[in-house]
Amino acid sequence: MAPAPVERPIVQRLGALGSLVPNPVRDLARPLARRVGLAAPPGEWWQLGVAPWAPPRRAERRAGAWCNVCRWQGASFASGAHSEFAHCPRCGSIARDRFLRWCFLTRTPSPGGATVIETSPRMGDDYRAMMKRWFDYRTSDFDLGAHSGDVQLDLQDIDLPDASLDVVLTAHVLEHVPDTGRALAELFRVIRPGGRMYLQVPLVYGVTSVPVEPEFHADNTPVFFNFGWDLTDQLRAAGFTTTVLVTEEYEQVLRSGTTDHDANVDGFHLDQLVEHVRPDDLTAVATPEQARLVGFLPGHHFATWECLRP
């Protein structure tokens, strides 16, 4: 049925205790630490030797804010709490960038060296250089227009071999694709058995709808669908095993069946989101402390579909 229109974790210890270790020992330990991804050499942030999946260290956990992209720490992020804000003053990531990365790296077993494609990433050359140090990583874009990419790919007709990818990262792209079913079938085809996709869309409505008037996002790309929780049905129909990753705070709100917020806040229709959520489809991935640290606030801004190919 067509959607209805709507209105609108010993080397790490050496790294931590480096100043207490005699210089010759420390000088030998550092290259080893870098090879296993646990010590940060000097240089630009994207040259950090700390593996992207390494958890925050004690000092980082005690910070007011910590970026899981570049490992910056400070009192707070550079702009207000919002999925599109909470900018990192070092790498420029925003909150939804960090949540997508959090989901990918905390949920993917042994991700190092994985073959990864990220569709239309908003972050630039330094981020991409960092990703290429740790993964077999490429970026794609539909027309190489608003976002540069290594390859030009149409998600409805992906020019890649069957079962050629371990991970797809795709954020705020699917809503701009006219044929959702065809795109999901193609994504399922190119992901290896046991592989996964982390998918974000702007989840502001409870049920999928189509705009009644032309709608565009900041890069001037048309919006074909405003997705709701029922996107899960389409992902499962394509063959994926799927759960929606959210923060603990948001999960509690959704499972309660009520909200203390206004029905429509920050453009999010919380009344609809609470009404139409399927609680058994939710998985909490960030505690309140983690959400505060990495900037996943407010909770209703953050939802990512984890899609596994059996």
pTM metric for this prediction: 0.85
Cis peptide before 3 (omega within 30 of 0): no
Provide the pLDDT for residue 266.
85
Q: Name 171's bridge partners.
A: 200
Provide the pLDDT for residue 25.
31
Output phi, psi for 43, to 5 deg: 135, -170
For residues 240 and 309, the answer to whether their CB atoms sit within 8 Å is yes
Neighbours of 178 (CB within 10 A): 10
Per-residue pLDDT of the chain (310 residues; tens, 9 = 90+): 444 443 332 222 222 222 222 333 323 332 333 333 333 344 588 887 899 999 999 999 999 999 999 999 999 999 999 999 999 999 999 999 999 999 999 999 999 999 999 999 999 999 999 999 999 999 998 766 655 678 889 999 999 999 999 999 999 999 999 999 999 999 999 999 999 999 999 999 999 999 988 877 766 789 999 999 999 999 999 999 999 999 999 999 999 987 665 667 788 999 999 999 999 999 999 999 999 999 999 999 999 999 999 9
Q: Cβ neighbours of residue 22 under 8 Å, at least 6 residues apart?
A: none
Amino acid, res. 265? V
For residues 198 and 283, the answer to whether their CB atoms sit within 8 Å is no
* Domains of the chain by start residue, with CATH: 62-308 (3.40.50)
Neighbours of 298 (CB within 10 A): 19
Alpha helices in 152-299 (DSSP H): 180-190, 231-237, 248-256, 270-276, 288-294
Provide the pLDDT for residue 147.
59
Spatial separation of the C-alpha atoms in residues 15 and 5, rounded to whole Å: 56
Q: Is the dihedral of CA 32, 36, 39, 44 positive or negative?
A: positive
Provide the pLDDT for residue 249.
96
